[in-house]
Structure 1
């Protein structure tokens, strides 16, 4: 019995103590932050949510003032308003509003006691490290040295040299980010000392040497009219896409994947293209000259052709049977690096001449001859169509005819003056285009259209005799 009274008395005294302690702390009005709560050095006591949010934004604004950084005898001012520096004001205010009002009774009591003694919330600071790196690169450019990647140098005589790589010296951005945040949270006015680190090149001299590119394997050039400005421009755009291309051993290259869609966004313009055996204006006209030139360079480099399609009609800038047409998402040109070393492709557009060069390892250097010839000829037919818009007795060429061909080609590979391989290349079929003649059928007195291309007298007589027959 005495023990029970003792326990009850102890609990009573504890309750009195809690009430007494609580009475020494204001519980704060509902909807307002308890007295004694700070966001860093900003007093939020008694503020409602809107007032506290405004105070948090003032703190955020103060963080965006320039900060001084130094390196040895150099110093710079970094504009922190350019690095997207911010705090989550809404989240920090909600955290302040909930102090002493959430959790268990004991947790609330503990938080209220801490607030009574002064409770400082440390905000989380965010910034965009990429923007910080950009700002530092601009301000502290004098002390930084970007790493230099190793590369290949192609000389005018087609010899190959290696441009060595070298390490760079850059600001350790991650450490600077931490130092900036710490300086802001501690309200330090001391300049931040930049720390530099050595950065190796992404491509080292040793890795470029290991590629094994040391000689010209094959080269081919085609001509175009530079006065046809749009077409010449398209040739340059597509050629630039393959210039500098490196191909790993056994890799298959897709022309369409490398060059991409022929669109105005990619920089292409309207120029003649071949559609249904005819030249019409289309976006990207001239790109096929690049794929064709590359195809011939691939042949002469003794590389494997994976996919190739000829045009519907012969084209003037390469021998028949040696063209390669492309249409994005439909017709592609693909080849494989069938060597155990890397390849490097160079394309050059100068004046009205396009040249594609393929460099690789001298172990695979061969003398290559390409032969192509017409195996069959397909003669066009003459089709006569009656046209009541033309005066009776007149004949007009609606479509000029053109011969078609079957062209075959072969690749002769030689080493040390001896033939080591004769390879049959893909056959090319160029369909004949029929000649279409409009025969005038309109009776006298009808409203007629004006014939644009009248048929020569000899052809009229020939057609007349055929009609009579």
Structure 2
């Protein structure tokens, strides 16, 4: 009977004893700790986090972060520099890393927890996520190792004092591979290796190569024009300088149409313009950007002398003193423009500058399109001014004062004569320019003695007369 019971029990008890023994053995090979503490055997790099609670783990990780923020040595071709790691935004997410350490063996599927506890028994070395600000690292490298950083230089044009043209060759630049350096720093910190890090330079190509500038074909002066202005008229001189600077260095593609207004932009206080005299409704009044039309007129004449095509141009309502009659070009932003076309097969390059009281515009292009050009202009018709008499109740009866001097109007013609090898190859009639006559306005006194009053608004009726232009009439 006992033998029968034994035969029945042994097959059950032996496996059970084996499982219990296995469980006991495995339990002795696993790491255990209270629920609020990190399992024994858990390390963050070389920092032992065993049995630390959350605040203690955060504190230990902050010390690790401080150690990582000590300067590292970087080197290049025999030179070395100290890179301050506390200025590159290096940090650890200490709270997140502490939670990760506490969760070892306590989260995830049962089999995962078992494996993690077994690993902790043997020792787990965690690697923290190291955060480095790429922008700050770039800034520190640029300051620390600035001797090896070389910005690229684009190819460009050099205009000599004698108006000959040379090409300034392009040059590649050199900078440090910041992403590679960022990766190298992380690896060294994780390995707790303080040996110098070799900087790896990368070549930076220029944005514009020498070959590209050569292909532009700019090699000679096609045309230039200068005008004079009074530098003592400070606001107007300043406006001329601002507009001229906007044109200076302009490159124009073959067949491109250039708009003066698009290049120079709005004449506003934000753009730096000031009040100076401008022509509005046949009168000189102060306005924002006064003087800009001298720049557009100077450019217009340079364009004509360079034998370029003018696609849009308008003259002032009154003749201007800085260019011959019929050769001015007025502009009003968003209303009246000066436009011309690069009708050559090569690029154009503009120079526009002010020297003292002299404004100069030069247009450079290819020698194959160089022509000798002469511009002629003349008056074909004149328009005499009319005299307008206005009643003025602020003047004594019988007194007459010239309120506005009159000026003749004109219809001017102009032409462009193009020559090559001393021979005329083209005579081009340019559009007529019509300048309105400026009426003379005389104020006629209407107030009896001792009863002067302010003029009514609107003023009294005006009477047109054909008389002379004295400043004060009896």
Q: 1:186 to 1:264 in 2, by over 3 A?
A: farther
Distance 1:100 1:384 in 2: 105
SS of 1:285's partner is coil
Task: Determine the structure 2 residue equivalent to 1:28.
Answer: 35
- 1:436 pairs with 432, 441, 444, which one? 441
CA RMSD of the aligned region, Å? 4.0
Distance 2:91 2:435 in 1: 66
SS of 1:240's partner is helix
Question: Deviation string for 1:318-341 (max 9, x for gaps)?
Answer: 112222223333333222211111
The alignment status of 1:241 with 2:246, answered yes or no, reads yes
Q: 1:151 to 1:278 in 2, by over 3 A?
A: same
- 1:401 pairs with 406, 417, 427, which one? 406
Counterparts of 1:24-173 in structure 2 under 5 Å?
A: 25-26=32-33, 28-29=35-36, 63-85=68-90, 118=124, 120-129=126-135, 131-173=136-178
Task: Determine the structure 1 residue equivalent to 2:397.
Answer: 392
Distance 2:466 2:312 in 1: 48
* Segment of structure 1 superposing worse, 155-164 or 269-278: 269-278
Q: 1:274 to 1:180 in 2, by over 3 A?
A: farther
SS of 2:230's partner is coil
Shift of 1:115: 7.0
Question: Deviation string for 1:110-148 (max 9, x for gaps)?
Answer: 67777785462531524234x544443333333344443
- 2:365 pairs with 345, 356, 360, which one? 360
- Contact 1:308–1:334 at 8 Å: present in 2 too? yes
Task: Determine the structure 1 residue equivalent to 2:471.
Answer: none
- 1:335 pairs with 335, 340, 355, which one? 340
- Contact 1:307–1:332 at 8 Å: present in 2 too? yes
Shift of 1:219: 0.7
Shift of 1:102: 7.1
- For the pair shown, the structure with the greater C-alpha radius of gyration is 2
Distance 1:98 1:409 in 2: 91
Distance 1:54 1:278 in 2: 80
Question: Deviation string for 1:260-307 (max 9, x for gaps)?
Answer: 333444333333233333333333322222222111111111112232
Distance 2:391 2:29 in 1: 108
Distance 2:319 2:99 in 1: 75
SS of 2:335's partner is coil
Distance 1:317 1:80 in 2: 63
- Contact 1:57–1:89 at 8 Å: present in 2 too? yes
Q: 1:79 to 1:243 in 2, by over 3 A?
A: farther
- Contact 1:33–1:46 at 8 Å: present in 2 too? yes
- Contact 1:250–1:336 at 8 Å: present in 2 too? yes
- 1:205 pairs with 200, 206, 210, which one? 210
Distance 1:79 1:373 in 2: 74
Task: Determine the structure 1 residue equivalent to 2:6.
Answer: none
Q: 1:184 to 1:397 in 2, by over 3 A?
A: farther
The answer for unaligned runs of 5 or more in structure 1 is 451-458, 464-469
Q: 1:408 to 1:201 in 2, by over 3 A?
A: same
Shift of 1:243: 1.8
Counterparts of 1:200-279 in structure 2 under 5 Å?
A: 200-279=205-284
Q: 1:242 to 1:114 in 2, by over 3 A?
A: farther
The answer for unaligned runs of 5 or more in structure 2 is 1-11, 456-463, 469-474
Distance 1:281 1:460 in 2: 29
- Contact 2:312–2:338 at 8 Å: present in 1 too? yes
Shift of 1:228: 1.9
Shift of 1:357: 0.9
Distance 1:90 1:376 in 2: 90
Q: TM-score, normalised by structure 2?
A: 0.78
The alignment status of 1:184 with 2:193, answered yes or no, reads no
Distance 1:427 1:210 in 2: 38
Distance 1:143 1:365 in 2: 45
Shift of 1:236: 2.1
Distance 2:238 2:232 in 1: 10
Task: Determine the structure 2 residue equivalent to 1:378.
Answer: 383
Shift of 1:88: 6.4
Q: How many residues align?
A: 445
Distance 1:329 1:94 in 2: 64
Distance 1:94 1:307 in 2: 73
Distance 1:376 1:59 in 2: 92
- Contact 2:235–2:275 at 8 Å: present in 1 too? yes
- Contact 2:399–2:444 at 8 Å: present in 1 too? yes
* Segment of structure 1 superposing worse, 302-311 or 395-404: 395-404
Distance 1:431 1:103 in 2: 92
SS of 1:377's partner is strand
Distance 1:179 1:76 in 2: 16
Shift of 1:215: 0.9
Distance 2:102 2:436 in 1: 82
Task: Determine the structure 1 residue equivalent to 2:5.
Answer: none
